[in-house]
Amino acid sequence: MLDIKKIRENAASIQSELSKRGPRYSLQGLLDKDKKRKELLLKAEELKAKRNKASEEIAALKKIKQDASQLIQEMQGVSAEVKALDPEINSLTEEINEELLNIPNLPDSSVPAGKDEKDNQVIREWGIKPSFDFVARDHTDVGETLDILDFKTAAKLSGTRFAILKNNGAMLERAIISFFLDIHIQKHGYQEIWVPFLVNPQSLQGTGQLPKFESELFKCRDDELYLIPTAEVPVTNMHRDEILDAALLPRKYVCYTACFRREAGSYGKDTRGLIRNHQFNKVELVKFAKPENSFQELEDLTHDAEEVLQLLKIPYRVVALCSGDLGFSSAKTYDLEVWMPGESRYREISSCSNFTDYQARRMNIKYRDDNKTLQFVHTLNGSGVAIGRAFAAILENYQQKDGSVLLPEVLLKYTNGIKIINKA
């Protein structure tokens, strides 16, 4: 969340930065409540100071066995006043907090201004789009023909937007996961971590999914637990309420998890194939960084994610999200988009963001700076990268005229030497 002190001091400029996101987030109600709360707080604290002092006097009087009944009577009145004020202050505090939780992060000044995804900026492109002497098919078509993807049976088990991977398809999914993990662990120096796929509401509030986006989450009926929409949630929350050792920053984690999203509101969109499923696999990169380095860390993290696509030799581009398309908690985001020949378009496969101190403030994650002052860390994360979409991209970019799919060379050591997927 944003710092209430900064909002108080720079209301106008923060308001204008917020409005770059598009929908109006008004700070006025917040400021009014804050002012009211401060007045009441001052009053209550004065009363409490008075009471604390009198309590000492009463104790002293009782010790020498003198009568304190007049003071006690007086303090009964003071305590009654306090008892009236405190709940009012508490409910104002709660309301203020609630409003703060619903205000998104401020876009960084380097973020291109814009309304929606059409205003996103292509930063760079990599690779050569494959050319085929036949009509390229989409991954659903390719996968079903090879009997490695089965959406019909998945629908029987769970409904739409689920997939079953079969035969060498299941094997390929596993190979991609292992390959991504190994690159980030061995080459990029991330620490491997394995986490729960179910988390409590507090964790989701920490990273920003709650309270505003509950409808996107799968929730357990009998327990206060949610299925994670991304590994970002458990991994970032590992350090909730902690003071991190400055010498160990940046901390870099890589984590494979399944991810679960309700995709409410995306009815009719990408209903086919692997692109937008309720359950998908992802290898996630998460960093905790010092504020002065966080934007450089974002560049590095983005390059780390890009490298797995380069190694797979899949063409992609890097896009800077504009202010209107930015995620709720993010100050700056680069999307990686892979080329999908079957659709003749780019598809998002990774999203790399710097959340600055927004999540850290929600989660209370700090470190001591060079002056030994406590500061909030900056948190970052990015997909490195989504497995299902990488699977789809491989099928489309590596498809052959006869319907088979060649496998990227770098995967050979993970596929038990299988170089090509043919119909079983």
Partner RNA sequence: GGAGGCGUCGCAUAGUGGUUGAGUGCACCGGUCUUGAAAACCGGAGUCCGGGCAACUGGACCGAAGGUUCGAAUCCUUCCGCCUCCGCCA
The residues of the shown chain that bind RNA, judged by CB under 7 A, are 4-5, 38, 41-42, 44-46, 48-49, 51-55, 58-59, 62-63, 72, 75-76, 78-79, 83, 87, 90, 374
Is 55 or 153 the residue whose CB approaches RNA more closely?
A: 55
Contact 380, 279 (CB under 8 A): no
The label of the residue with tokens 């497995």 reads 387
List the structure tokens of 24: 């109006």
The amino acid at residue 256 is: Y
| Residue 2 CB, nearest approach to RNA (Å) | 12
- Cis bond before residue 250 (omega within 30° of 0): yes
**β-sheet bridge partners, residue 321:** none
- Smallest separation, CB 357 to RNA (Å): 12
Instruction: Find tokens 């619903």 and name the residue.
Output: 102
**What is the rounded CA–CA span in Å between residue 172 and residue 140?**
15
In angstroms, what CA-CA distances link 118 with 112, 114, 419?
Answer: 11, 8, 39
Place of tokens 């850290």: 360
Smallest separation, CB 101 to RNA (Å):
16
Instruction: Give the 3-state secondary structure of residue 151.
Output: helix
191 membership: H or E segment, kind and range: strand 191-193
Residue 346 bridge partners (DSSP): 339
Smallest distance from RNA to CB 5, Å: 6
Q: Are 349 and 385 in contact (CB under 8 A)?
A: yes
- Choose between 3 and 343: whose C-beta lies nearer to RNA: 3
Question: Is the bond leading into 385 cis (omega within 30 degrees of zero)?
Answer: yes
Q: Which is nearer to RNA, 58 or 101 (CB)?
A: 58
In this complex, which beta carbon is closest to RNA, that of residue 200 or of residue 310?
200
Q: How near is the Cβ of 211 to RNA at its closest, in Å? A: 17
Helices 387-397 and 294-312, axial angle in degrees (round to 10): 40
| Minimum distance from residue 231 beta carbon to RNA (Å) | 20
CB of 87 to RNA, least distance (A): 7
- The least CB distance from residue 360 to RNA, in Å, is 12
CA nearest neighbour of 201 among 187, 220, 186, 177: 220
Of 51 and 278, CB closest to RNA: 51
Q: Residue 61 or 410: which CB sits closer to RNA?
A: 61
Could you tell me the two tokens for 271? 């209903």
78 vs 136 by CB, closer to RNA: 78
- Least distance from RNA to the Cβ atom of residue 90, Å: 5
Nearest distance from C-beta of residue 80 to RNA, angstroms:
9
Go through 249-273 and write b for each residue having 16 or more CB atoms within 10 A of its CB, e for each that does not.
bbbbbbbbbebbbbbeeeeeeeeeb
Q: How far apart are CA 210 and CA 216, in angstroms?
A: 10
Q: Which is nearer to RNA, 120 or 257 (CB)?
A: 257
Question: Phi then psi for 270, rounded to 5 degrees?
Answer: 50, 45
Specify the residue, 244 or 301, whose C-beta has the smaller distance to RNA.
Answer: 244
> In the 8-state DSSP scheme, what is residue 294?
H
In this complex, which beta carbon is closest to RNA, that of residue 43 or of residue 278? 43
Cα–Cα distances (Å) from 301 to 223, 252, 356, 366, in that order, read 35, 10, 14, 21
